[in-house]
Amino acid sequence: MSHRAAPEHTHPDDVPLLTALSALADPVRIQILRELAGSQEWTRTCGSFDVDVRKAALSHHFAVLRGAGVVEQKDEGARRFNRLRGEEFGTRFPGLLELVLRGD
Amino acid sequence: MSHRAAPEHTHPDDVPLLTALSALADPVRIQILRELAGSQEWTRTCGSFDVDVRKAALSHHFAVLRGAGVVEQKDEGARRFNRLRGEEFGTRFPGLLELVLRGD
DNA sequence: CGAAGTGTATGACCGTGATCGAACACCTGG
DNA sequence: CCAGGTGTTCGATCACGGTCATACACTTCG
């Protein structure tokens, strides 16, 4: 057996406002969130995003989004699936995620 | 005559989302906005904020806030007075400023 | 078992932005 | 007119964050 180490999550309630704003103030992460919002939950793996960075940077961005409590991840075999924490994050920071998803 | 050059303002409607988020993702600027929100409009000069940076940095922060359309400035003699653009900014980015002002 | 696929960790590089000191411009009050 | 106050600009410095290449860990499939 011996799974891979489960990803560390931070609950939105424990996320400082500054951390949330910093996490969302990045074009790559905004794009990830929008793509994620346009898909069914738990259907998108980390590598499935149409983003213009290599996988090391991509992995970093997901760690930031996790640390901001806006994304949840679940390992399934070799792949890591994602979902938006829309409900909980929206309770902690009302309107913020909607703002990012709405776009300009 | 010959006033000082009037500060350049950006209307919230012309502010990209990323610019707004970046502007708000800074502890000094957040503190400025909160102090400003706790005062009557047009009563606070740039130097009147209890902030832990020198005046050069302070001037920079106000320029950023102006560029994000969240603060308006008006010169009166030697001093520059400030006000929050609560209404217009709130229309462009609903809930965002409230989130910053509410705090943690 | 071995190869390919998925994601993380590490170290380095680099650009951006926050900061400061100093110099400057402008206004006001003696 | 001059001194002090207010704020900006400029140049330099410094820290932080985004990026990459590489190496590694784990899974799946042939």
Give the Cα separation of B34 and B31 in Å (integer): 5
The reply to whether residue A22 touches residue B17, judged by beta carbons under 8 angstroms, is: no
**B6 sits within 7 Å of strand C by its CB:** no
B27-102, CATH topology level: Arc Repressor Mutant, subunit A (1.10.10)
Give tens-digit pLDDT for B14-34: 999 999 999 999 999 999 999
Q: Which residues contact A88 (CB under 8 A, 6 or more apart)?
A: A11, A12, A13, A69
For residue range B59-90, list pLDDT tens digits in order.
999 999 999 999 999 999 999 999 999 999 99
Which of B31, B38, B17, B53 has the alpha carbon at shortest distance from B103?
Answer: B31
Q: Shortest CA distance to A49 belongs to which of A64, A67, A71, A34?
A: A34
- Give me the amino acid identity at A18: L
Rounded CA-CA distance B101/B38 in Å is 9
Q: Confirm if A23 and A10 have CB atoms less than 8 A apart.
A: no
Tokens 């030697």 locate to B78
pLDDT at A84: 98
What Å value separates CA B54 and C1' C20?
Answer: 7
User: Domain A28-102 maps to which CATH number in 1.10.10.10, 3.40.50.970, 1.10.630.10, 3.10.200.10?
Assistant: 1.10.10.10
Amino acid code (one letter) for B8: E
